[in-house]
Amino acid sequence: MLVGDIETTLTPEEVAYARKQLGREPNALEWSMIDAEWSEHCSYKSSKPIIAQLPTTSPRVLLGPGYDSGVIDIGDGYILTLHIESHNHPSAIEPYGGAATGIGGVVRDILCMGTTPIALMDALKFGDITKSDHSKWIMKNVVRGIADYGNCIGVPTVAGEIEFDECFERNCLVDVACLGLGRKDRLLLAEATCPGDSIFLIGGSTGRDGIHGVTFASRTLAADTEQERSAVQIPDPFTKKLIIEATLEAAETGIVRGCKDLGGGGLTTGLSEIADKGATGVEIYLEEIPIREPDMSPIEIMISESQERMLLVIKQGQEGVLQDIMQKYGVAWARIGQVNSTGMITVTRFAKPLAYLPTSFVANAPIIQRETRSPQTPKNDFESPMPRDLEKVVLDLLGSPTIASKEWVFSQYDHEVGIRTVAKPGQADAAVLSLPNGKLAAIKVDGNALLGYLDPYLGGASVLAECCRNVVAVGAEPVAMLDHCQFGDPNDPEIFWAFSMAVKGMAEFAKALSLPCVGGKVSFYNQDGVTGKAIKSSPVVAVLGLVERPEHVTKMAFRDEETVIVVGTTKRELGGSEYYHSMGVSGLSPPALDFELEKRTQVGVLDCIRGGYVTACHDCAKGGLVVALAEMAIASAKGASLDLRSVAADAMRDDELLFSESNSRFILTTDKPDRLLKKLAEHGIPAAIAGTVEGSELSLTLREHRLRWDLASTRDAYLNSLQRILEPWQK
Amino acid sequence: MKVAVVQFPGSNCDRDTVHVLKNSLKLDAKLIWHNEFNEAYDAVVLPGGFSFGDHLRAGIIAAHSPATKAVRKMAAEGKPVLGICNGFQILIEAGLLPGALLRNTTLKFVCKWTNLQVEANNTAFTCAIEKGSKVRMPIAHNEGRYFADDEQLDRLETAGRIVMKYVDENPTGTSRGIAAISNEDGNVVGMMPHPERASDPALGGVDGMKIFESMLEWTKC
């Protein structure tokens, strides 16, 4: 609403609450600061009570949600930090800069804990690129934005996932996650705890880019989005690289008391949060802040989201040390304020006070309750016709954008820099990175909008289950997760219901697995202002696992003459499957998730991997059994002859068996089939031998079909499809 | 032997290279900030990355920095000088190696493992490898398409200065599949593939070690 002459996203209740709390009328600068910090994007004002359902603790968790990154203790004095961000609205308008600055933001979240960013992941969702040139343009530029930024700062992009659905045509989703590595005794917090300390702003100058970025992210995209480009920040990865080096060097000297990245909400958010967390106050000298344009108003300076800026709280008397380090790297710096004990955020310009607000008041928006309502669901399920040519259907599915190899994307990312990427993109279900204490980190992001749409509760739980299976498949034990919830306008009770159910699904499954959630993000308003259509519910999760020993690392490629074993039971559950999606329908019955069976299966498979019984492992998910088997054959350039009649399954048609996306399934290969089956049986997991790796074709025997594909055609469909769609002129 | 790995603002393979030299080869290797670098080392490696953000053109600002003057002196003294990826771009821009590195023909950054053939082993970085042998190393760059005119290429071929060529596939469209070249004396080598990323079996191969082992061998003779 309009307050004075300031256009804000505050509701009349919030305006009344602010006036009552302060006991006076805030001025224009103060209203702008309150507006930025109380935006949905910064304050989580309506999502907080919902996400509180997620479990957040375990013996390994040093810090959970509420900080810039979650912190996991991996022993031997080392910590891993983990965070996820999205840059959906900016990327929908300016995909290159939007995606690049998304990386910039999440890297700062890792950096400000005093840890080195060692890996990036991205979960992307675009419209149907087989039909829409706009979505092709968005995708190409998002990928190039991530590549140019991540490659330049020298952080490998090691894992990700991409989904395509027409609901993302005007609202693409760009989620980026970052993993950091550091020493426990050097952990920094975003807290200003000691009055007298100096507050430094380092890095880029403050400009007019990114003004109102958070309030822009807290409403739906308008019809004429071209006008909103100024709310998208400008990426500068070279400056970021220098900031990374300079910040880590400063942290190493022990002069840094606290560190905070400047992202959404700019200086307002950064300053109020460090003072609120540190139970102190801050005074800021606006005239000291380097600005890009001379006539910037105090409001613009306080809410600008210009990139490549960090706040450092430097111990009193150590300012000179910081200045020398910044000098070495050529990073600009300014001492912009001081920590005090007033409990207030004071903004001054040449000693004239401009704003004076309690930090706890600014940093803690009033919680709002939103209405929820479950939607009406249709009654009649879809009955698919039996396809005439199953072999062709499989090839088409292998080449469909969501399933096809993402090599076109990940070959543009430097996934090797840092020399720790042991399992690289395309080789295994999750990326595996070596760590200095001899252990390895396994990391993966997953999403499934088709399931989220059918059943948000099951969708939330299943996405997390799949992501955990991916991490288990490489030989790791899941130790922490991040959630990222992306929905339409939360004022719509059905959308808020879907959000609540998705979080509930994730939370209940996380509890069943004793998996702590160490951070997350909520992104609402992913809705098209023109058509009024919201995206399908799109929870995204990231799971971090630890591999205890290098010999446990397991990839997915077949090996000659080994036995192929299918773990789990395939049920007739085709709702939300890629098979149905390829026919343009979603169906009604998504795969069920038996929490107890899923947990038992993951624990059992990990036990078998650690026992040395498994030579290759692959999770069976999108596209079903046939896609998982084909992916293993393609990864190894080896064929297999398999009989799926012995695999544990409900009675169903051959196509349904191939494409059902039932949970709790893996495909394993082994050179010790008897011992592996015995071990799986001990864990109470259904498993059966399907055949052996041999020859140069993939052949499947089903109840009513014998299907064969030569490897060349499966490889061509799977590996070259994205390039054919995006760059038909190449090769 | 004392090896310097020069760290320019924007270098990002600097620590990886030092790690391999120091921990895998047990050499006295140091990371030297570009302003503090001088010619008092036995060998120098210009690592990969985006020196000075690749502003203006990849490698050109570093090529005109004081650090490169010291590199030039070391090259003239016959000491081993290796440019990897962005380091190769710097050596080309400095005129220490001929030709140009253009944008890849795919017009995209390419990160992948490549098959290479060693074409010359009279250089400081291939002398421990048999001529004609196949090696595997990854590339990761946007501007690595080696280009020179036919006359120049013929001269390089005749003089045995083409050090490595891509085989099976030319991933970036370089002239005659060139992946690495040397100066006339063989002590200065520029290569687009990353040997430091192929120096650990867990990471996919150890052929890169031979590049650094050659450097040791070369200084012994």
pLDDT (tens place) for every residue of chain B, 221 residues total? 999 999 999 999 999 999 999 999 999 999 999 999 999 999 999 999 999 999 999 999 999 999 999 999 999 999 999 999 999 999 999 999 999 999 999 999 999 999 999 999 999 999 999 999 999 999 999 999 999 999 999 999 999 999 999 999 999 999 999 999 999 999 999 999 999 999 999 999 999 999 999 999 998 86
d(CA B186, CA A85): 49
What's the rounded mean pLDDT across residues A283-293? Answer: 95
Q: What is the pLDDT of residue B157?
A: 96
A416 touching B (Cβ < 8 Å): yes
pLDDT tens digits along A574-595? 999 999 999 988 888 899 999 9
User: Beta-carbon neighbour count of residue A703 at 10 Å?
Assistant: 12
Taking CA atoms, what residue in B is nearest to A723? B106
**Domain contains A623:** yes
Catalytic status, residue B196: yes
The count of other CB atoms within 10 Å of the CB of residue B83 is: 28
Task: Please pick, among B85, B119, B127, B143, the residue that the annotation labels catalytic.
Answer: B85
Coil, helix or strand at residue A152: helix
Is A151 close to B204, i.e. CB distance below 8 A? no
Chain B residues close to A417, C-beta within 8 Å: 12-13, 16, 48, 140, 197
Q: At what angle do helices A673-682 and A595-610 cross, to 10 degrees?
A: 140
CB-closest option in A147, A329, A434 to B202: A434
pLDDT for the residue A220: 64
| CATH 2.30.110.10 for the B2-220 domain, yes or no | no
pLDDT per position as a tens digit, A81-136: 999 999 998 899 999 999 999 999 999 999 999 999 999 999 999 999 999 999 99
**Looking at CA atoms only, how far is residue B193 from chain A in angstroms?**
12
Residues A391/A655, Cβ–Cβ less than 8 Å:
no
In a mutagenesis test of the B interface, which of A181, A238, A409, A414 is the best target, namely the one with the most B β-carbons within 10 Å? A414
Q: Chain A residue closest to B196 (CA)?
A: A419
Can you tell me the distance from the alpha carbon of B31 to that of A622, in angstroms, rounded to the nearest whole number?
46
pLDDT digits (tens, 9 = 90+) for A521-540: 888 888 887 788 889 988 99
Q: What is the sign, positive or negative, of the torsion defined by CA atoms of B91, A235, A163, A728?
A: negative
Element (H, E) at B45: strand B43-46
- CA B160 to chain A, closest CA, distance in angstroms equals 31
CA A707, distance to chain mean position in Å, is 38
From chain B residues 119-178, the ones with a CB under 8 A of any chain A CB are 138, 140, 142
Q: Which residues of chain B does A246 touch, with a Cβ-Cβ cutoff of 8 Å?
A: none
Q: How many CA atoms lie within 13 A of A614 on its CB side?
A: 32
Q: Do B33 and A412 touch (CB under 8 A)?
A: no
Rg (CA), chain A: 26
For residue A330, give the chain B residue with the closest CA. Answer: B9
Query: What is the rounded CA–CA span in Å between residue A23 and residue A25?
Result: 7
Distance CA A632, CA A639 (A): 9
- Is A198 strand, coil or helix? strand
> For this structure, is A484 an active site residue?
no
CA–CA gap between residue A425 and residue A28 (Å, rounded) = 50
Q: Report CA torsion sign: A459, A465, A467, A473.
A: negative
Of A308, A334, A363, the domain-final residue: A363
End-to-end CA distance of chain A: 55
Best B65, B104, B108 member to test A by mutation, with max A CBs in 10 Å, is B108
pLDDT at residue number A370: 87
0.90 surpassed by pTM: yes
ipTM above 0.90, yes or no: yes
**Phi/psi class of residue B212: alpha, beta or left (left: φ > 0; alpha: ψ in -120 to 50)?**
alpha
Is some CB atom of chain A closer than 8 A to the CB atom of B55? yes
Closest CA to A450 of A589, A571, A543, A570: A589
**H or E element that contains A551:** none
Q: What is the pLDDT of residues A625-635, one digit of tens each?
A: 999 999 999 99
For chain B, what are the domain ranges? Answer: 2-220
CA pseudo-torsion sign A158, A163, A169, A170: negative
Q: Is B203 within 8 Å of A241 when comparing Cβ atoms?
A: no
Average pLDDT over residues A260-284: 92
**Range name among A227-241, A248-262, A357-371, A433-447 with the lowest pLDDT average:** A227-241
Query: Does residue A45 belong to any structural domain of this protein?
Result: no
Q: Do B111 and A410 touch (CB under 8 A)?
A: yes
Neighboring chain A residues of B194 at a CB cutoff of 8 Å: 416
B5, B7, B8, B12: which to substitute to probe chain A, counting the most A Cβ within 10 Å?
B12
Q: Could you say which of A363, A396, A412 is where a domain stops?
A: A363
Beta carbons of B16 and A147 less than 8 Å apart: no
> What end-to-end distance do the CA atoms of chain B give, in Å?
13
Hey, are the CB atoms on A414 and B109 less than 8 Å from each other?
yes
Interchain pair B53, A330: CB under 8 A: no
Mean pLDDT of A504-511: 98
How high is the pLDDT of residue A730? Answer: 76
- Give the chain A residue whose CA is nearest to the CA of B171: A411
Q: Of A412, A419, A730, which has the smallest distance from its Cβ to B196's Cβ?
A: A419
Asked if B54 contacts B12 with a C-beta cutoff of 8 angstroms, the reply is no
The CATH number linked to A87 is 3.90.650.10
- Domain annotation covers residue A23: no
Contacts of B185 (CB under 8 A, 6+ apart): B78
Alpha helices in A58-94, H assignment, sequence order: 88-93
Q: Taking CB atoms and an 8 Å limit, are B53 and A237 in contact across chains?
A: yes
Residue A136 lies in a domain: yes
Least confident interval from A192-196, A288-292, A339-343, A368-372: A368-372
Domain of A570 in residue numbering reads as: 556-731
- Count the Cβ atoms, other than its own, within 10 Å of residue A446: 29
**A580: which DSSP letter?**
H
| Chain A stretch 422-451, residues whose beta carbon is closer than 8 A to a beta carbon of chain B | 422, 424, 434
- A96 touches B: beta carbon within 8 Å: no
Domain assignment present for residue A389? The answer is no
Of the residues A363, A398, A431, which one is the last residue of a structural domain?
A: A363
Residue A730 to residue B106, Cβ atoms within 8 A: yes
Are the C-beta atoms of A43 and A363 separated by less than 8 Å? no
**Is A550 within a domain?**
no
Closest CA to A490 of A49, A31, A175: A49
Q: Is residue A198 part of a domain?
A: yes
Nearest to A149, CA basis, from A229, A241, A213:
A241
Residue type, A621: A
How close does chain B come to A383, measured CA to CA in Å?
Answer: 44
Residue A499 lies in a domain: no
